[in-house]
A and B are shown apart, each in its own frame.
Chain A
Amino acid sequence: MLALQNVSKSFGVLKVTDDVTFDVPAGQALGIIGPNGAGKSTLFNLITGNLMSDSGAIVFDGQDVTRTSAMRRCLGGVGRSFQIPQPFEKLTVFENLLVAASHGRSASEAHVTQICAEVLERTGLLPKANAAAGSLSLLERKRLELARAMATGPKLLLLDEIAGGLTEGECQSLVQTIREIHAEGVTIIWIEHVLHALTSVVERLLVLDFGRVIGIGDPARIMESREVKEIYLGAEV
């Protein structure tokens, strides 16, 4: 579904993505962990096209999208949530989904009304459908990020710390929704600090540090590995 080959990105002298290579087969869920500043969100922005890589290649769904704009990648099936929720504040919750569905799927508003309503139902936002997005609570904003990404009809869904800052109960129900989406065959890449939420969904885990991939594989094995404990958990072993 997605393959990155030797992708690098620098901001000035700082190398934030350093020769990253990995792939995600269709239908799989991959978790990404790493300390703050490891370059996780930058990696996401490179995959979605909000940032362009300096070198390397990104292949999505059999197409080279390395130089493709964010808008075109969305049309191709890349949906994302932002770490800090970025709702269209003056639009209502329903309109946030409507603009995503009508443009992301290149369909008329009438065609996607039903789809938007269904996404609102399953993300628990239906009671807030006609409220301004700017008036939502943190949990609702996180749900809106997920709902808006789902409205575009993604084949690949990128979730950026969507469980951060939520209470245990809120986190549980959000994880349940994500698990359902995954069960329907949507490929997922998920950055998360809330590890138990992440490992209850993903099949593989990728560890990023200083922009480099330092481990990828079975979540349990990755969490046990010495490098991860040293670098990510900061423990002396």
Chain B
Amino acid sequence: MDMPYAVTTRTSASAIALILGLSVLALLFAAPAFVSRGLIQDLFFILTMLVLAQFWNLLAGYGGLVSVGQQAFVGIGAYALYGSVILGGADPVSALLLSGAAALVLAVPTAFFAFRLHGAYFAIGTWVIAEVARLIIAQWHAVAGGTGTSLPRDALREMMLVSWVQDTLGVRASAARDILAYWLALALAVATIAVIYWLLRSKRGLALAAVRDNTEAAKSVGVDAGRMKWLVFLTASFGTGIAGGLIYLQKARISPDAAFSVTDWTAYVIFIVVIGGLGTIEGPILGVLVFFALQSLLADFGTWYLMALGLAGIAVMLFAPRGLWGLISERTGLQLFPVQRRLTGGLLAQSNRKET
């Protein structure tokens, strides 16, 4: 009897990874009940950097779009939130959606111009557009005054869900705000990874990989390469915008130079992805942990810290171009988020039977 052909993506590690992942998630969710406020703030930083890194990885690692202008979407997302809270009296938590929407609105003209450029020119182009966005926002005196702006105390005090967190955990209002921001960051990180993983496992994910490997050949087998680029760019902008809004919701204070910082929101993010492993979901997760460890260890050394980061980045690029996760998965064959489709059954099953 002939067995039909079937496709599977499951690996032996992926089931274990799922259980392990859910346990870590449960632990992270419960963390505010038993860890210090300082640790919650650190975890918030790690999670938001992870979101930025996942989206940059989607752009560069899967879409081949090496952007150096992602700070534009962090900044615009943050200022959309401040603008709607300060001028429109919006609730800061709900305003996060506006952060995403504002980033999308900026992403359309950015893509329109930047997609005409390729490789290094695309990178420079996105950076220039981000600088232009920063200069324009800095002219918006009502919200983006020269030395910076704070979120109004009233808006923070009456923020959605804060009093509920306060009552449930029995903490003070300021701690409750940090915990709420942390939970939102956790939700955003989980949603980010879920959406990217879902995208990669869909028919579009396969098309994305084909475009990355060989654009001309991809077009010749019916892949709409242009549409794939737009899809990836808009998705990354939306997510980066929400992350930007959330980061500055937690900081409660903003200035154009900080919100549009190329070092904080793009250079560090590139470092995280490169050191962890470009083109994998696992890479940025590992990368952000390494980045945070280095930052905690070397923070006291000022400029030396930045030099150490740079050297570490160069060393990884030279000796492990696929990043730390690349090294690990090469040695062990481990894949926590498998996307490879393997053909089984049919004549393949028969030949296997003959071998055994």
Contacts and interface: CB of A to CB of B under 8 A. Distances in A.
Interface of A: 48-50, 69-71, 74-75, 80, 82, 86-92, 94-96, 98-100, 102-106, 108-110, 113-114, 116-117, 120-121, 126-127, 129-130, 148-149, 151-152
Contacts of B218: 88, 99
Nearest to B340: A92
B217 to A, nearest CB: 4
Contacts of B141: none
B343 A117 contact: yes
Contact of B221 (A89, A100, A117, A120): A100
Interface in B201-224: 203, 206-207, 209-210, 212-214, 216-224
A121 B342 CA distance: 15
A127 B224 CA distance: 30
Given A74-B220, A130-B342, A91 B6 contact: no
Nearest to A133: B213
Contacts of B341: 92, 94-95, 98, 109
A121 B347 contact: yes
B222 A126 contact: no
Interface string B1-26: 00011110000000000000000000
Interface string B41-83: 0000000000000000000000000000000000000000000
Nearest to A71: B219
A109 B203 contact: yes
5 contacts: A89-B213, A92-B342, A109-B7, A113-B6, A130-B343
The 9 closest A-B pairs by CB, nearest first: A104-B222, A100-B221, A88-B213, A103-B222, A74-B222, A86-B217, A117-B5, A70-B219, A99-B206
Interface residues of B, number: 30
B206 A48 contact: no
A191 to B, nearest CB: 15
Interface in B177-202: none
B159 interface: no
Contact of A94 (B4, B207, B213, B342): B342
Contacts of A152: 221-222
A103 B213 contact: no
Nearest to B227: A71
Contacts of A90: 209, 212-213
Contact of A99 (B6, B223, B348): B223
Contacts of B210: 88, 91, 96, 99
A102 B351 CA distance: 27
B145 interface: no
B333 interface: no
A102 B217 CA distance: 15
A104 B221 contact: yes
B343 A74 contact: no
A88 B214 contact: yes
A102 B220 contact: no
A69 B219 contact: yes
A135 to B, nearest CB: 14
A113 B6 CA distance: 7
